[in-house]
Chain A
Amino acid sequence: MRSRSFILETVSRLVLFVILIFSLYLLLRGHNAPGGGFIAGLMTSATFVLQFLAFGPTNQRNILPINFRLLIPVGLLTSFTTGFVPLLLGKPFLTSAFGHATLPILGEIEWATAVLFDLGVYFVVVGVTMSIISAIGEE
């Protein structure tokens, strides 16, 4: 049996959302500032690993019933499609479109299809990292 650590459990509950939100922030700004899908994916995986360590593999699967292996092709497909659609529209592969939009509350923001590509990378990184860690960790 695994011994439970009260301190680790409490802390990981507290920091979970902080890290997740920060990783989303990195993901969304990645296409024109430091950040991006890769680093955001690693950071998200780090929070999951922390949960994994604090609560054990079974509990984690109950909280987060995601098949991480499936995330890999999903991410690849997302990135692939983002690259491929411009090709169908007569632009070179991977061309990114961007523009400005006004949203309620947030005001004017810049959108770019590069975010979708980053999202794909994000999925792949989370999928790969979590698959590897759970494959090694559950033994």
Chain B
Amino acid sequence: MMQSNWIILPVLFPLFGAILNFFMPKRVKAQKLVAATALTATLLYSIYLLSYTRTGAIAVFSASDWPAPFGIVFACDLLSAIMLVASGIVALAVLFYSFWSIGQGREQHNYYAFYLLMLMGVNGSFLTGDIFNLYVFFEILLISSYILMALGGEKEQLRESFKYMVINIIASALFLVGVALLYAVTGTLNMADIAVKVQAASDQGLLTVIAMIFMIVFGIKAAIFPLYFWLPQSYPTTPPAVNAAFGGLLAKVGVYVLFRIFTLIFINDIGYTHSILIFIGGVTMLLGVLGTVGQMDMRRILSFHIISQIGYMILGLGIFTPLALAGGIYFIVHNIIVKTALFLTAGVTDQLTGTTDLHKLGGLLKAYPALGLTFFLAGVSLAGAPPLSGFFGKFVLIVAGLEAQHYLVIAVAIGTSLLTLFSMMKIFRYAFWGQPREYQPQKYGRFLAPAAILVVLSLAMGIGAEWMLDVVSAAATQLLRPELYITAVLGA
């Protein structure tokens, strides 16, 4: 059992930054400095954690020295570390984009503080080993996200944030019901301890019911079929920077939790629960991409793609072989990075032209070649063209699916890829090709830089796919041996 008191740092850095920012609501420059420092420190420490867990070690920490399973435990395995690094990268990119785009009004109303608090919730969800603590961190990230969404108070924005809040409050209430039931059956809240008790429980039927409750809860939060209806409505009304953080990061936290609980806790009836996951994955990816057909707004199209892409991740979880899980994890990382890059380019487009409506755009490639190139690379990466990261994620998933003989859903996955490419090309054709409208020549290098860096990362992930696959395969193997996690937390 490896005790490491410091693994809580990715939670503490953003919290401390947020506290400092609350002290100086009007001093925007200092706020930016604090936020950038806090998030850089978080990222660096996460990279250290990744290199540490890469050896197969699982770092554990029990808050206030209460031993597990009585106290609250934080555990960092390879999956957690990978998620921390991915979220750290994206968080910094969005932060820098916020510097250029979010505006004085929001900055002076604690935008950065709540942004940091949201990341505290995200990182906490990745690290915690206690299911009730998970609920708490989810609430932290959700409450901060309500504020980020509503901040600014435009009419449409308020209407959609209200819906978003109601949906999430319902999901959170269900989450509590699930936790309570799980506690009633197992008598513990520590995830490792639950995993042990679940295997020994007499009423396996009830446990499957609880598993389904959790699937619904995180299905709402991760936006999977048939619970995704709220996402394409609410995300596009937020400011572009917030939209990028939500679209790139928040939905994936739900996916992470699904990966965690459906490999650690609910593995007693795989034939039932994971078949449902495969079905849901297939339908989610298909319906998500079909949703884009009628849309003519860049940000709305991209929002529907979030849903479609989440289908692939769920599919990887559902197939439940080492290769499929590795593909799923690779896909999550790829998607966090590329999706954020796409939303950031949409944001830059909005800044330069004042709209993301495809009817009103045209010829952007000529007017702003770098923007066009960034969008193009991110778009084909999303669709899955080699040598970008999207290709390898899908490739691994498809090979894994064929090996496990899920031919139908793999056919759907390949078809969805084509449709994704088609709808990326639709954006490209309307917005970037053709005769330029009257655009003012502007300097936009710094607006675009965060997105461009993310695209370069996606390219690097594609070229360094072998190394990446090595890491995610190790993470997947670790997930498929829950006894490693359990002994790390509870001791032998």
Residues in chain A within 8 A of chain B (CB atoms): 70, 72-73, 76-77, 80, 84, 87, 90-96
Does B65 reach chain A (CB closer than 8 Å)? yes
Does B62 reach chain A (CB closer than 8 Å)? yes
Bound together, the chains give a CA A91 to CA B61 distance in angstroms of 10
For A72, the chain B residues whose CB sits under 8 A away are 22
Top 6 A-B pairs, shortest CB-CB distance: A73-B22, A94-B64, A76-B19, A95-B65, A92-B5, A73-B23
Taking the nearest CB of chain A, how far is it from the CB of B75, in angstroms?
A: 13
For A70, the chain B residues whose CB sits under 8 A away are 23
Which stretch, B8-16, B182-190, B204-212, touches the partner chain A? B8-16
For A96, the chain B residues whose CB sits under 8 A away are 64
Chain B stretch 45-94: residues in CB contact (< 8 A) with chain A: 61-65
When C-beta atoms are compared, the residue in chain B nearest to A89 turns out to be: B5
The prevalent SS among residues of B at the interface is helix
Bound together, the chains give a CA A90 to CA B5 distance in angstroms of 8
Bound together, the chains give a CA A111 to CA B355 distance in angstroms of 61
Does B6 reach chain A (CB closer than 8 Å)? yes
Bound together, the chains give a CA A84 to CA B8 distance in angstroms of 10
Residues in chain B within 8 A of chain A (CB atoms): 3, 5-6, 8, 12, 15-16, 18-20, 22-23, 61-65
**B22 and A93 form a contact (CB under 8 A):** no
Bound together, the chains give a CA A90 to CA B4 distance in angstroms of 10
**B64 and A93 form a contact (CB under 8 A):** yes
**B19 and A73 form a contact (CB under 8 A):** yes
For B61, the chain A residues whose CB sits under 8 A away are 92-93
Q: Which of A76, A84, A87, A90 contacts B22 (CB 8 A)?
A: A76
Bound together, the chains give a CA A87 to CA B74 distance in angstroms of 14
Taking the nearest CB of chain B, how far is it from the CB of A125, in angstroms?
A: 15
For A80, the chain B residues whose CB sits under 8 A away are 12, 15-16, 19
When C-beta atoms are compared, the residue in chain A nearest to B74 turns out to be: A93
Taking the nearest CB of chain B, how far is it from the CB of A43, in angstroms?
A: 24
For B5, the chain A residues whose CB sits under 8 A away are 87, 90-93
For B23, the chain A residues whose CB sits under 8 A away are 70, 73
For B12, the chain A residues whose CB sits under 8 A away are 80, 84, 93
Q: Which of B19, B20, B64 contacts A95 (CB 8 A)?
A: B64
Contacts A87-B5, A87-B6 given: A93-B19 contact, CB under 8 Å?
Answer: no
**A94 and B19 form a contact (CB under 8 A):** no
Bound together, the chains give a CA A91 to CA B8 distance in angstroms of 12
